[in-house]
Every structure is written in C-alpha cells, then in structure tokens.
Amino acid sequence: MRFAVIVFPGSNCDTDLFHAIRDELGEQVDYVDHTETNLAHYDAVLLPGGFSYGDYLRSGAIASFSNIMPAVKGFADSGKPVLGICNGFQVLLEAGLLPGAMKRNEELKFICRPVELIVENNQTIFTSEYQLKEAIQVPVAHAEGNYECNEATLESLQVNNQIVFKYKQNPNGSTADIAGITNEKGNVLGMMPHPERAVDQLLGSADGLRLFQSILKNWREQNAITS
C-alpha cells in the first residue's frame, strides 16, 4: 500500500506521519508537496498537523486553496481513504470535505497532553481494529480544536453514525465531545488528536497504530476482492 503525506508550508507533523507509516506500519510512503496536482499513484492520502500558512486568516483556510486540493477532493470522491489530523482536519473542514468548523479552545489556551478517546464507530475503514466504545489514549496538541456545528449538522452526524471518536473528558469545548468525524461515505476522516504520536509504547501509547492498521487491512481486503 502506498501513502501520500501532503506537505503544506507550515506543516510540522509530516515527519511523524512518515515515520508511523514507514517504520511502524511498514508500508510505502512519500511526501507530496502542496504544489503538486496528481495523486493517482497513491492508495491513501494523509493531511498532517501543523500550522499551514501560519494559520493566517483561519486555521486551514489558505491551505484549502492549495494546488493539491482538487486532487485530494477527487481522491475522496473516488472512495479512497483520506485522513486529516489536527491542522489536516481543519483543512478538510475549510475545503468542504467534512461538515462543521473549528473555533479556538474554550479556555483560549494551547492544549498539549494525552487524552482518552471513546471509539463511537468501529465499522469504518479507519477504526475496524478497535472495539466499539473502547477507550484509547492519544495525545492532542492544538489551540483551535473546538469543533462547532449547527443542530441540523449534529443530528445528521449522529443519524449517519459519522461521529467516530469522542473525548471521554472534553478538553476544548467541542460540540457533543466530538474528537473525530467522517464524511457520509465513511472514507474521509478528520480528527484533532494525533494517532501518529501514539504508535509505540515508548511514546506512552500504541493505540494510534491500530488506526493505520485498519486502513491497511481494509485496503488489503478490497485489493483481494478486485484482484
């Protein structure tokens, strides 16, 4: 399986993702610059955390207009997996690939610490290696992770089972304790916590590795069906 890690000016978690895929998952991975326009040779696309374009205007707003984004949208439309982590989640929101928006954390402070997440949906290509309602430990590191949506959007997320992760103890004020959501197809996931920083017990937790293992397992199953 071949992964693409999109690199924007200001990305700073791209190397963490690269390490998680190459060294922990054992799969092929390339850095793909934001100026590129083609993702045809990849099986999964990852948008890393950081401060794309310095978070000017709004977090993820300028990055959503990068040259690579039409290819990311086309990739998502084709049903292939797209994962946005932290700033990558913000980019997906700004690009309209996921519903809702981000506000500053409720206490207006940067948060950087391990948190417990509850797996709300383990029937996605990102979460099949978890147990339903399992509590996992994954770190957060953000100042604008307060997920916001209107009542109609929240109802839609709940009805369609698009809420994948919730905070056990909400650190930022996010609506309905939401930590991660998918699109309706289930092939685009945005999450504020950093699974790539929880891929080895030396880091304090290896719970994040199973997210990437889920993607790989799904790809292998799909590839076996189509080959």
Q: How many domains does the chain have?
A: 1
Residue range(s) defining the domain that contains residue 71: 2-226
Q: What is the pLDDT of residues 10-69, one digit of tens each?
A: 999 999 999 999 999 999 999 999 999 999 999 999 999 999 999 888 899 999 999 999
Euclidean distance between CA atoms 140 and 81, whole angstroms: 22
CATH number at residue 61: 3.40.50.880
Positions annotated as catalytic residues are: 86, 194, 196
Enter the pTM of the model: 0.96
208: exposed, middle or buried (Cβ count in 10 Å: 0-12, 13-18, 19+): buried
Q: What is the pLDDT of residues 141-172, one digit of tens each?
A: 999 999 999 999 999 999 999 999 999 999 99
Please provide the distance, in angstroms rounded to a whole number, between the alpha carbons at the two ends of the chain: 14
